[in-house]
Amino acid sequence: DIIDRNGSGIPADVLTIRAESQILSGGNIPPFATFQAASGTSPLQAELCWLPPCVDIGLDPIPFMVQATDQNDCPAPNITRDTFYIRLLPASALPPVLNCVTVTGPTQVALSWAPLPPEQRPGFQSYFIERNDGSGWQTISIIPQADLDSYTDFTAVNAYQQPYCYRIRSTRRCPVLISSEPGNELCTLVTRAESLSEVQTRISWNAYGQGAFAYSLFVESGGSERLLAENIQDTTYLLEACSFQGRIRVAVTDPATGCTSYGSYTREVIHANDPPEAVELCRVNVEKGRIRLEWEPTAIPDFASYRIYRKGGRNTQYELIEQIDSAAQSNFTDGVDPATSAYCYLIEVVDQCGQAVASAEDCQVLLQAVQRDFQVEINWTPYLGWEQVLGYELWEVADTTFPRLLHTFGNMDRSFTDKEVLQSRGKYCYQLRAIESLNGCGVESWSNVSCVVFSPSIFIPNAFTPNGDGINDVFSIKGLFVNQYHLSIFNRWGERIFESRNVDEGWDGTNQQGLAVPEGVYIYRLLMQGFEGETLERGGSITLIR
């Protein structure tokens, strides 16, 4: 601060200030100190500019003198001087910032960095290029030029398959040798491909350096390269494609410098996506009145779903009835009535690319039993889908604790007539069993159950002669396919004189006391029930002749 000693405050009372110092090393050429003179009556500021050489660093303090002069010499010349000192301390060496590391050949890696700014170059000695190939950091080159900003490592053996990491130190001697700490580390990018399935490949690579980087993937195919994905924050990428061919490499761009580092290419990645293999539909079988399909589950790694199609009934073309997303599932039950049509089925295996392959067609056996007088005529359709049917077995399955084998047939037989129909039974049910040869799944397939119900049939005479001659001595009602039977005989006064619940038991013309009743007209009442619960009621008169 400069003080106006006379205190007049007159603007013409001007002071000037200047600074002097010894001539520093270098004579009258830089480096030397410069001081811009200033004048005025208010507090003054001036700037000292000095680029000291290394020889002055660490020496004794260097004096600087400041002198202020009263230019008006009023009341007398007035000069004021002061001295200050500057001590120069050694500056630390700073590490260069590594900008880019990229593979340029099988054994070549190119490096670039930001060179030291001019104010950090006094006393510069060397850049030290250091590399780590997995066995530790080693110095691979020493560069004495301060303004150099790139270097190529020609000794990076197998650079396409192995990542190499780099960093740079700098040293300066001013006046003693000082080495900087290691700078930032950057590594070459090695891209790898791991096949997971026919349509999936995992692409992975090592980290470019510490911190967050946004990676991009490029595909080279047919001599041209295109962008596959960008802004990837991780070091893995799942490639899912049904059709793909090409080599892939990773790249990263430093947003601060715009430098792009490219990694090595992977082996050629091919997603041929062959169509899936069809499953074998082992059998179409009837269980508990429903149709059950069974197949060998698929083992394809890119499974998407099963599609089940059905044809039959009113549909002459296949229609999709179910989609199943579990590859392990091996059966399906259809809710249609198997007695209404010979239903056919096929199963498609669909992969993740939407390709579908269908199985061979399998069709159930449709069995139909029809009453022909007092016989049952049975017909069936063949089982379709097996390579060979060994034969068929016909079973009677109604109203019996255990099924009864009626007959066996060859694979060309299609009909049978059951003549052994018992009149004491009114319902007959049948089921056919188809047997596959051992060339396939070695299974069996049952048809639907088809039943025939015989309605009750009776013959009632209108007279009989219980005279002991052995001819027409008993009033006997002939009943066929009767499940329950109740016969009552009444006289003209409405008294019941005979009763029976046995269809094979007739009235011999006696009352309940065993005495013969006189000739005349008697009334009968008959109640019957068939095997399906249908009820018949008959009534009328019968003439007894002695």
Are 133 and 164 spatial neighbours (Cβ–Cβ below 8 Å)? yes
Helix (H, G, I), strand (E, B) or coil at 396: strand
pLDDT at residue 247, rounded to an integer: 95
Give CATH for domain 191-271. Answer: 2.60.40.10
* Tokens found for residue 72: 């008006």
Among 6-10, 98-102, 209-213, 412-416, which range has the highest average pLDDT?
A: 412-416
**Chain segment 403-462, per-residue pLDDT in tens:** 889 999 999 999 999 998 877 678 889 999 999 987 778 899 999 999 998 888 889 999
Residue 209's CB is within 10 A of a number of other CB atoms, namely: 19
What integer best gives the mean pLDDT of the chain?
85
- Helix (H) / strand (E) element for 363: namely strand 362-363
* Tokens found for residue 60: 């004794």
Backbone angles phi, psi at 120, to 5 degrees: -105, 5
Q: Up-side HSE of residue 28: CA atoms within 13 Å toward CB?
A: 0
Omega within 30 of 0 (cis) for the link into 118: no
Helix (H, G, I), strand (E, B) or coil at 120: helix
State the DSSP string of 270-281. Answer: EE--PPPPPPPE
**Chain segment 454-507, per-residue pLDDT in tens:** 888 889 999 999 998 989 999 999 888 888 899 999 999 999 999 999 988 999
The CATH number for 281-351, chosen from 3.60.20.10, 1.25.40.10, 3.40.50.1370, 2.60.40.10, is: 2.60.40.10
Task: Identify which has the larger pLDDT, 535 or 141.
Answer: 141
Task: Identify which has the larger pLDDT, 269 or 273.
Answer: 269
Separation between Cα atoms, residue 263 and residue 235, nearest integer Å: 12
Q: What is the mean pLDDT of residues 35-43?
A: 60
Residue 307 is which amino acid?
Answer: R
The topology (CATH level 3) of 367-453 is: Immunoglobulin-like (2.60.40)
> What are the sequence ranges of the domains in the chain?
15-86, 97-187, 191-271, 281-351, 367-453, 457-544
**Chain segment 101-140, per-residue pLDDT in tens:** 999 999 999 999 988 887 777 678 889 999 999 999 999 9
pLDDT over threshold 80, residue 323: yes
Separation between Cα atoms, residue 464 and residue 544, nearest integer Å: 6
pLDDT at residue 374, rounded to an integer: 84
Q: Which three-class secondary structure string do you get for 420-449? A: CCCCCCCEEEEEEEEEECCCCCCCEEECCC
Separation between Cα atoms, residue 244 and residue 236, nearest integer Å: 18
DSSP annotation of 241: -
Equal fold, 97-187 vs 281-351: yes
Task: Give the pLDDT band (50/70/90) at residue 60.
Answer: confident
3-state helix, strand, coil in the chain (%, to 5): 0, 50, 50
Q: How far is CA 451 from CA 361, 377, 498, in A?
A: 28, 11, 37
Omega within 30 of 0 (cis) for the link into 175: yes
pLDDT at residue 531, rounded to an integer: 80
- The dihedral over CA atoms of 517, 521, 522, 524, expressed in degrees to the nearest 10, equals 140
**Chain segment 237-259, per-residue pLDDT in tens:** 999 888 889 999 999 988 777 88
Residue 265's CB is within 10 A of a number of other CB atoms, namely: 19
> In b/e form, how buried is each residue of 138-174, taking b as 16+ CB within 10 angstroms?
eebbeeeebeebebebeebeebbeebbbbbbbbbbeb
Of 259, 144, 267, the closest CA to residue 203 belongs to 267
pLDDT over threshold 50, residue 3: no
Task: Give the pLDDT band (50/70/90) at residue 46.
Answer: low
The CATH number for 97-187, chosen from 3.40.50.300, 3.30.70.100, 2.60.40.10, 3.30.470.20, is: 2.60.40.10
Q: Which three-class secondary structure string do you get for 291-318? A: EEEEECCCCCCCEEEEEEEEEECCEEEE
Are 175 and 55 spatial neighbours (Cβ–Cβ below 8 Å)? yes
Give CATH for domain 457-544. Answer: 2.60.40.1220
pLDDT at residue 4, rounded to an integer: 47
| Residue percentage of the chain with pLDDT more than 70 | 84
* Tokens found for residue 144: 């004495």
* Tokens found for residue 99: 């900008």
